[in-house]
Amino acid sequence: MADSDNSRTLSTVTRGDLHSLVAACLPTHQARSAPENSDFEAGNQDHALAAWHHWRATWDRLSESTAQLQHLESSFFSAGLSSSSDHDGSRAYNEALEVEDRAALAEELAAQALWLTPAPSIAGVAAKLDAIVTRNQPSLTSSDEPWPQIRTVLADLLKIDTSPDPSPCLSG
């Protein structure tokens, strides 16, 4: 019966609610996190967390621009536009495509900077792991190995880093 834990239902963390867990557990800015995280004591900032916050902002912009482009594609190709509106739709689509391209480049550069930034804390390591998982898993709810296991490891890292209480960010 040593493997009985493997048969239990996956938690919300492994089913895709990982981003909200990461956002809730990682320090969001120095002033708020200073009392909660010893890595933010004077002169001892975790630069990996700052790089992760920058990457997260670029990832969010990329996600928004991709969604906008997909919306334009759907409306542009399904509407049967007249020739007068074809030009406006085509111009809007091309502009959205350029925005997405710029967002993708910014996200890639931010990710590269994150990988190159040493992580001196568990929170920094968890932040880097979150970026890897977010960028590479096929979907937020992918149940294909190794994604549920990786999300569980990340949740464990956050649980260890946040408090002496074993599950402050995971309770509820």
CA distance 140 to 19: 9
Distance of CA 125 to the CA centre of its chain: 14
pLDDT at residue 172, as a whole number = 39
At 71, is the secondary structure helix, strand, or coil? helix
Amino acid at 54: H
Please report which residue ranges of 117-164 form alpha helices under DSSP H.
122-136, 147-162
pLDDT for position 116:
97
Sign of the CA dihedral running 56, 57, 60, 65? negative
The reported pLDDT for the residue numbered 32 is 36
Which two tokens mark 73? 């594609």
Element (H, E) at 98: helix 83-116
| Structure token pair of residue 63 | 């996600």
Q: Please state the φ and ψ torsions of residue 120, each to the nearest 5 degrees.
A: -85, 5
Which stretches of the chain score pLDDT less than 70?
Answer: 1-44, 79-88, 161-172
What pLDDT, on a 0 to 100 scale, did the predictor assign at position 47? 95
pTM for the model: 0.68
Determine the longest span between alpha carbons in the chain, in angstroms: 70
pLDDT of residue 92: 85
Q: What integer pLDDT is reported at residue 140 of this predicted model?
A: 79
Residue type, 87: H
Residue 79: the pLDDT is 64
Question: Two tokens at 24?
Answer: 């809730």
- pLDDT attached to residue 114: 97
